[in-house]
Chain A
Amino acid sequence: MTKSRTQMPARATPLQPRKRAILIGASSGIGAALARRLAREGYIVALLARRQERLRALCDEINNACGETRALWYAHDVTDYGSVPGLLQKALADLGGLDLFVYNSGIALPGGFKHYEFDKDLRTTEVNYVGALAWLNPVAAMFRSLGAGQIVGISSVGGERGRVNNPAYQASKAALTSYLESLRNRLTRRGVHVLTVKPGYVATEMTAGQKGLFWVVTADQAAADIWKAIRHHKQVIYIPARWVLVMLIVRNIPSFIFRRLNF
């Protein structure tokens, strides 16, 4: 977990300003793509995820491509809530500050219409939502006291209606979306921006092998959209953007129809 001194990234100077980001859930999918993108845009990134080997490989790839240390990695399971304050302090000190925080960890455990499994639902809720609370509380408090900073939560279009498939996933994302909105309403007045990202289908390990997907975007495309939204201090974005219209309709489908759909 601890890195040797020679690997530490350079600190900002007046003529070489550097933004700094922490990404939770950075080893694959949208998280990894966003890590690459932020590093390319000059950010120093602290990458956290469970899978150590992948993180290390991703950091090596980023640092080689940039020709200097721009990515650091820390092995972390988001359900290890007690380790969060210490890790946040460590990453903050290694980066030299924090401008952007991204919570991307999320799982969708396979299950069918007939499955009712508490263990899976608990795990889903813990990773997708409770882990987010563990991180967002100290990060929000920090940004609030500084009067600056940007928080990005990767939620999903899935949270907008209670669809028949994977109820705990839908509920966890609904909770995350709602929590992020509250944070935004609490923090905007303090100079902190909160962005909720609602991807549709993104070609990642989570969606691999699933059938019936449409408007699938690559993780790199998703990262590009998120980067644009970060730059423009957007509040909520859908990926791709046309999901706005779809979800407008979906949100307004009356229940007597919705409960007959297999959507």
Chain B
Amino acid sequence: MKRYGPITAVNGLDLEVPEGTCVGLLGPNGAGKSTTMRLLTAQSIANEGELEVLGFRLPGESKAARAQCGVVPQLDNLDVTLTVEQNLLVFTHLYRIGRADRRDAIERALKMANLVDRRDTKVNKLSGGMRRRLLIARGLVHRPRLVLLDEPTVGLDPQVRQELWALIDALRAEGTTILMSTHYIEEAQRLADTVLIMSHGSAVASGPPAELVFEHAGREVLEVYGPPARLAEVEAEAGAAGLQTRRTGTSVSILGVDRNGYRAEGERRPANLEDVFVLLTGEEIE
């Protein structure tokens, strides 16, 4: 548990990241995702509860844990007047890579971030996407056993986001253990083996994305469009039939219609993680 005065940021969160998997913390802003990340690097100290990272107990043994973790922060904190290569060089020292291995580590990171021909470019001359790739490569320069990605694609345009997803997916394929926080449903659905839905500092559900969807929203959702009065009627009817609904702007989505055999005029579409998220948290998400 982590409190800031009267505000409880993280409360009774049970989080386990099995080795070699990618766990996604999905939640809106203020759900406690970033606080969770800070707790894991002991930049924030829990008021209650136990934390263990890679077998090290926090906060006492956090330094040993941090040596084997790679952290990619949400806010870009690269040294902007330094070149791409200098930024990586600094982190080979901070992560205690031996002199003999430093060159290789930097080359590998440059390749991974696809910045080999930008090695001598100063960071303030890079595009947003390149900066984010460098930020990720910097956190991986020492081949960490666990990678903490805090909102890896926040604020980037869709094309750059896809590019970063490919990069993260490649890491996953190599068997790197990843804990990622995100408030993009699609990101969690695509990249995470297990999704943990967070709301107000607690986990409200967790499991593989497809299972979560099936369990909570069924296979198909019926989306009914109409004027507000009609939508209210549909909600009442569905409720009477024992189905859960959620408002999606100009329509009502009726969840789990395939299980119930409920019929109404509307468009059927596959259920998705967003349905689950809204159903469980009562909160809309981007």
Answer yes or no: are A and B bound together in one complex. Answer: no
Tell me the A residues contacting B by CB distance below 8 Å.
none
